[in-house]
Structure 1
Amino acid sequence: MAARARASTVSYLQARRSGGSTAMSAAEAEGTPLFDLQQIDSLLGAIYEGPTESPPWQSAMQLLRTQLRAAHVTLMLRPPSQDSAGVMINTGPVTAQGVESYETHFFSLDPFVRLPEGEVVTAEELIGRQWLQSAVYQEYLKPLDIRHLLGADIYTRDGIECRLRVTRSHNAGPFSDEDKALCRFLLPHLKRSIQLHARLDFLECERSLFAGTVNRMLLGMLSFAQDGSLIETNQEARRILAEKDGIWLTGSTLCVDSSQESRELQRMIRSALADSGALPAEEGTDNEGAGVVEAMSITRPSGRAKLGVLVRAVPMGQWSESRQRPAVVVFLRDPESNAAQPSQELVRRLFGLTRMEAQLALLLAEGFTLDEAAEKMNVRRNTARTHLRSIFCKTGVTRQTMLVRLLLNSVLTLG
């Protein structure tokens, strides 16, 4: 890919030297680049910053549109298909109706697709003069005042297929060799950026999945950077801290009612920061290989059960350079939180229970006795006992406590 990028750069320079003015200046003859290095730098910077934008590459596409004096520049991250409308980043004057008509109909008639890897071509170069008689041009592009169409497709080993399309109106001139050389030069950079975006998207999906799991387990979580500043809190942590019942947050500092408990919590956080590599170890301590994980309880003035607190260091990776990464994570657990109960359907399908058996199993897992569960189900105690024996048979347990443990340790808590 690096060789191809160098070749595209040479082609671009050659095109710049031969495709502009008919008369070459002395500087041009000596090989001085004709293009504006600052503009190229801006384009490349926008391409590599594209994965962090929303929508991605909007700035890069707009810069490319200006550079090419184009009516539109469109990046199809996911081309439309029979199963999906696709995902397109458009720059230039577009209407929702125009986008929808392509996504739902004209994409299937478009012959300007599946272009050779790394090639930048016009529609007429690929298809010939019959392009102007095609349904896509006559019924879709021409009414939108689009006459010239330039394109390139990107394919990756992971199965990604993206399309870059550039247009000009009927009043504008056709795309030059210089225009195509610029796109060819940018293409490998755009491909790398798209691959980075795919990787970041995967990591974000993974992060969201794990964050959702932590929330469903009613585990509060706060992450702190190496300088002690707060990075993120999850929903359960915000709920616990908002109650200000024994512990609350002021800026990036966790405050605790009890002075003794407050000193202990701050000591644990400092120790974890030192273990993560963020702070030097305190004199007289040896944190090497400690992998700090400490826990304590926080007294609540309301008289409710104490909150559980666990502090864990997040050591720096071998190649970590950012100081705004999690260095310490603080977990909070409220023993009196009421987790959302899994549906009876989940319990029924997981253990092969009937509807009544699933209802009874969930009530027992909530802490009700068999008599209390029978009353809630509006059935006799003997009927509940019959259901319980059937549950034991299907789940392979022999005692009610074993059944509750089985339910609480199953995947139901993730549902």
Structure 2
Amino acid sequence: MESAFAKMGFADYDTRNMACVLKDVPLFMRSTIAPAADKKAVPAERDGKLISAEQFSRITSLLYDAALDPKSWWQPCLAAIRDQLGANYAALIVRLPGHADLGLILSSAGEYRDAAVYPSEIAALCPFRGMPTDQVVTVTDVLSEAEWRASAYYNDFCKDMQCFHVIAADVATKDGCTYALRVTRPETSSNFDAQDRAFMNMLVPHVKRALNLHLSVHQDRQVISLYSRAMAQLMVGVVILDQNGMVIESNPAATGILEMQDGLKVSGGMLEANYASDNRKLQRLIRDALMQTGASRLSITEGVSVGRQSGQLNWGVVVQSISPDEWTEGKQRPSVAVFVRDTSGKAEPSIKLAQQLFQLTPAETALAIQLANGLSLEETAEALNIRRNTARAHLRSIFSKTGVRRQTELVRIFLNSVAWLGNK
């Protein structure tokens, strides 16, 4: 089978020469920068050093690593940009849509790393405010030196921090946010020149792609987390198996079921049923799903009832193949999903949400939840420590508000409602 690596046009390279593909390929010469008086403010200079493809690749690698990091740790990338440009600060300022004067500054300077609020009064004075996105500029592009020295932005914010020379670019992401990339040098250093601008012009498109990538990955994680919580609240356990039938992961509901070892368990990294006859059926379904995964993009879904030693209702187990991705390679690939529903467990929906959905009182909601969990009216009255006549009165009121006439119908509409998806 042709590998994804080969599909991208690198089939002729082997591991020995791939290590040298980007090594020491010059992009352009770095400018020479005068040494700073404050040696702590500016890193040691590397006069005339080539900016190679290898160096640029390292910086962009840090950039994309930051985009994929759920904690959004951007400082290593900012530090690499700062060092490459011989700067004292490199910062990424985040501004939310509709809040142009508010934001967060992620910065890197020497050993100092920080994240701070970007005050609105400072943002309002910024000479780069409102400039076109994806365009690299320096202070001298927007102000004369005299205007810069006289500006409130320089005197109130930049001067004490030794930020005299500034090279800047604003990047707009697809969600409407604006990110401001700022790199600075003290007055004792030379201004950013054409070579520095060329480096920034090469970097800015990568910054934009990385920020959009971070946005997409973050949104995907949020959606996946939402789906996972919803499945768990509906008491649906999900176990994911790889191409060898080994368990990769399970959601909280499935983890709780497997820990009980009441009919289902994980043994040697594989999902098994405790009873031999049930296990044969389960393993057959898993094998069939794995064969389907390798042969077709169409998924199959089959089910089996699994007995429990506790004598409680059997587990309902559904096995579904996961369609393969032609770009997915590696030792572990999601191939089979196994769904398990705890039909005997007691659910605890949000009382507040149930009240809002059915316009019930707290007492009526508590009674409806107990009925939905399988208790009789008499058992519910005892569990809630109320008189049977009181329970009957609550039930009549519930019937009136929901428009149902029988207790079984009430349980059905309650179980089928979205009340179970709310937080407790």
TM-score range, shorter chain: 0.7 to 0.9
2:395 is the alignment partner of 1:388: yes
The AA in structure 2 aligned to 1:327 is: S
Take 2:371 and 2:291, find their aligned partners in 1: how far apart are those partners?
Answer: 45
Matched residue, 1:112: 128
User: In structure 2, do the counterparts of structure 1 residues 360 and 230 end up closer, same or farther at CA, with 3 Å as the change threshold?
Assistant: closer
2:155 to 134, 138, 141: 138
Structure 1: give runs of 5+ residues left out of the alignment.
Answer: 1-14, 22-32, 281-287
Take 1:168 and 1:135, find their aligned partners in 2: how far apart are those partners?
Answer: 18
What pairs up with 1:221-300 in 2 under 5 angstroms?
221-277=238-294, 291-300=299-308
Identity of aligned residues (%): 35
- Kindly state the Cα deviation for residue 377 of structure 1 after the two structures are TM-superposed: 4.3
2:182 is the alignment partner of 1:165: yes
- Kindly state the Cα deviation for residue 356 of structure 1 after the two structures are TM-superposed: 2.8
2:72 is the alignment partner of 1:55: yes
The AA in structure 1 aligned to 2:57 is: D
The AA in structure 1 aligned to 2:371 is: L
User: In structure 2, do the counterparts of structure 1 residues 261 and 290 end up closer, same or farther at CA, with 3 Å as the change threshold?
Assistant: farther
Q: CA RMSD in A?
A: 3.1
Of 221-230 and 64-73, the range deviating more from structure 2 = 221-230
Contact 2:381–2:388 (CA under 8 A) maintained in structure 1: yes
- Kindly state the Cα deviation for residue 164 of structure 1 after the two structures are TM-superposed: 0.6
1:127 to 133, 137, 143: 143
User: In structure 2, do the counterparts of structure 1 residues 19 and 65 end up closer, same or farther at CA, with 3 Å as the change threshold?
Assistant: closer
What pairs up with 1:92-107 in 2 under 5 angstroms?
92-93=109-110, 99-100=115-116, 102-103=118-119, 106-107=122-123
Contact 1:81–1:108 (CA under 8 A) maintained in structure 2: no
CA offsets 1:155-189 (integer angstroms, 9 cap, x no match): 24541311111112343222112111110121122
Matched residue, 2:344: 336
Of 404-413 and 377-386, the range deviating more from structure 2 = 377-386
1:316 to 314, 321, 324: 324
Equivalent pairs counted in the alignment come to 378
Contact 1:297–1:307 (CA under 8 A) maintained in structure 2: yes
Contact 2:105–2:117 (CA under 8 A) maintained in structure 1: no
Contact 2:254–2:340 (CA under 8 A) maintained in structure 1: yes
Matched residue, 1:147: 164
- Kindly state the Cα deviation for residue 60 of structure 1 after the two structures are TM-superposed: 3.2
Contact 1:148–1:167 (CA under 8 A) maintained in structure 2: yes
Take 2:300 and 2:416, find their aligned partners in 1: how far apart are those partners?
Answer: 26
User: In structure 2, do the counterparts of structure 1 residues 344 and 275 end up closer, same or farther at CA, with 3 Å as the change threshold?
Assistant: same
TM-score (norm 2): 0.78
Take 1:36 and 1:95, find their aligned partners in 2: how far apart are those partners?
Answer: 27
Contact 1:222–1:234 (CA under 8 A) maintained in structure 2: yes
Matched residue, 1:46: 62
User: In structure 2, do the counterparts of structure 1 residues 251 and 168 end up closer, same or farther at CA, with 3 Å as the change threshold?
Assistant: farther
2:228 to 211, 215, 218: 211
CA offsets 1:298-331 (integer angstroms, 9 cap, x no match): 33334443333221111125x5434544210112
CA offsets 1:353-400 (integer angstroms, 9 cap, x no match): 223322322222222222333344454433433332222122121111
Matched residue, 1:66: 83
Structure 2 counterpart SS, 1:76? strand
Structure 2: give runs of 5+ residues left out of the alignment.
Answer: 1-26, 34-48
The AA in structure 2 aligned to 1:119 is: Q
CA offsets 1:57-91 (integer angstroms, 9 cap, x no match): 44432322221111121123446986996444322
**1 or 2, which has the higher helix percentage?**
1
User: In structure 2, do the counterparts of structure 1 residues 83 and 379 end up closer, same or farther at CA, with 3 Å as the change threshold?
Assistant: farther
Structure 2 counterpart SS, 1:195? helix
Contact 1:78–1:88 (CA under 8 A) maintained in structure 2: no
CA offsets 1:235-291 (integer angstroms, 9 cap, x no match): 1222222223333223431233323322222221111111112xx6xxxxxxx6873
Matched residue, 2:315: 307
